Chain A
């Protein structure tokens, strides 16, 4: 099994929306290399003809009646928002200028 490089960790951090500091990156790369080396043992079973289990309960599409029920008011829903305006979450710009 391949280990993990500092560059890969930096890439994964970007994908995960984590603005890691340089020293954090060094430290995590070292630790994650050890962790991945240990967990890679699961690939022992990769070739076995065994169905995967994603969940302990065999549930599919749990439905309920489509009824109007009490819910949060806009004020309650926005009560924890870092910024709000006109009963909406106010967010930084999502699209670029151009």
Chain B
């Protein structure tokens, strides 16, 4: 077998199950690939060579004993460095957690291990998942495999870049305002934000608890579905976990049939600020869905124009509270403890030294929004906007099965272009934020290259909460039709690293 690194997760698992290749060979091929390209890409913050090979050996042993293997047994995965991993460093891209070795696994980590998934290592991210470019990592930016001088999106840029660079066929992200979908869009990969509450947050280092959601990243819609089913489901350790069956997303991904579906185009996601090539590919996708037998109508969600301002009050408010735990007392960095300073001073010195600029900005912004005197005007109003956005979604989903839009207004921008312009950076999440505020499900998948820069464009599909299967039904059909048209997956057009 050649080119193991280009296999889909589904094909990799099948090849291992049938004995065509061992899990150790698959893991080694990916570790070799990481060794060869990751100095350029910087997708990984930590590569767990020994852990990966041990996990792969365990899968091979189980197969040798004739045990039945799960649908992802032996498949390598890149894990965003925001989930705790017992005995393996977890930094969240922050200096304040440099060298921290968690004493426990996140529920998601345990589920991956139980499924026989081989965790290759931890991927780079914007510090505490705050950002849209991975430039806010304390450990240097990640390059976009399509053009290493451009951003891979964020906050999960490391996970998306690892997929696009063939360093792993599967990855995990977290999506608070678009951190799975926007990196997916700009790297030509698939990313899904499941319904809020469907993937456990236990062991996910909290940024904005009412918005954070872990989810699958992959190179194909089916692979994302297989990973989705492996990680989703009720967890008693997360009080916001939904106690209901996971939608049958794998079956939906295999349907490849959108005939009779009603699809709404969100009118508000177009116009000023949207790159011409992005809109061109999006409009072609709309036509494609019509050709495939879906009924496409225009839908208006007027409150979406307030989603971005509401998000940048709610997320920083929750972050300012969540990040209070980094107090230099129980874990992580401690600075200035020379016996003369008080605990309060040591906390303040440590947070100054350990947090990067975007984290500090958001902590201050959140503290401001929650201050008495501003609370009603800012945080209170943002919560009302959240209600209005949910109502817009409810009204839209009364008439259509899914909504579609571009995932992000532009293709990948150059590293450095928006690094010190927070408002320009925030615009990257314009189309993804409403789903976080409402808690529903959304996917991004590649729909072509923008003609002006030959960079990937993402198509976003949004479904009602707990109707995640609709994302995969539409995504699977679009992917199959586009691959037929192109003659190969889009990623084949990326330059060799």
Contact = CB atoms under 8 A, between A and B. Distances in A.
B342 A93 contact: yes
A59 B240 contact: yes
B439 interface: yes
B487 to A, nearest CB: 41
A46 B329 contact: no
B254 interface: no
Main secondary structure, interface of B, reads helix
A91 B334 CA distance: 10
A20 B360 contact: yes
Contact of A94 (B334, B342, B423): B342
Interface residues of B, number: 69
B238 to A, nearest CB: 9
B382 to A, nearest CB: 5
Nearest to A80: B331
Contacts of A46: 376-377, 380-381, 384
A39 B309 contact: yes
B274 interface: no
A24 B361 CA distance: 10
A8 B242 CA distance: 41
B309 A92 contact: no
B332 interface: yes
Interface in B340-355: 341-349, 351-352, 355
Interface string B321-333: 0001001111111
Given A56-B465, A94-B343, A81 B331 contact: yes
Contact of B344 (A16, A17, A59, A64): A17
Interface in A18-73: 18-21, 24, 28, 31-32, 34-36, 38-46, 48, 50-57, 59, 62, 64, 72
Contact of B388 (A45, A56, A91): A45
A27 to B, nearest CB: 8
A9 B361 CA distance: 10
Nearest to B346: A92
Contact of B306 (A24, A44, A62, A64): A44
B470 interface: no
B330 A80 contact: yes
A13 to B, nearest CB: 6
Contact of A53 (B332, B347, B371, B387): B387
Contacts of B361: 28, 31-32, 35
Contact of A50 (B351, B367, B387): B387
Contacts of B437: 53, 56
Contacts of B438: 56
B423 A34 contact: yes
Contacts of A45: 306, 381, 384-385, 388
B334 A56 contact: no
Nearest to B307: A42
- Among A21, A36, A39, A94, the one with the most B-chain Cβ atoms within 10 Å of its Cβ is A39
Nearest to A61: B239
Contacts of B346: 92
A63 to B, nearest CB: 9
Given A16-B364, A28-B360, A38-B423, A76 B352 contact: no
B240 A43 contact: no
- Among A34, A41, A80, the one with the most B-chain Cβ atoms within 10 Å of its Cβ is A80
Nearest to B332: A80
Contacts of B328: 82
Contacts of A91: 329, 343
B175 to A, nearest CB: 13
Nearest to A78: B330
A82 B332 contact: yes
A50 B388 contact: yes
B310 interface: yes
A44 B368 CA distance: 19
B381 A43 contact: yes
B377 A53 contact: no
Contacts of A53: 383-384, 386-387, 390, 437
A56 B313 contact: no
A32 B368 contact: yes
Contacts of A38: 309, 312, 423
Interface of B: 100-104, 196-197, 210, 236, 239-240, 242, 306, 309-310, 312-313, 320, 324, 327-334, 337, 339, 341-349, 351-352, 355, 357, 360-361, 363-365, 367-368, 371, 376-378, 380-388, 390, 422-423, 437-439, 465
Given A18-B348, A59-B239, A76-B103, 5 more contacts: A14-B348, A50-B384, A50-B388, A55-B210, A59-B240
Interface of A: 1, 4, 8-9, 12-21, 24, 28, 31-32, 34-36, 38-46, 48, 50-57, 59, 62, 64, 72, 76-77, 79-83, 89, 91-94, 96
14 contacts: A17-B344, A17-B347, A17-B351, A21-B352, A36-B365, A39-B313, A41-B309, A42-B313, A45-B381, A53-B437, A76-B103, A80-B331, A83-B337, A89-B330
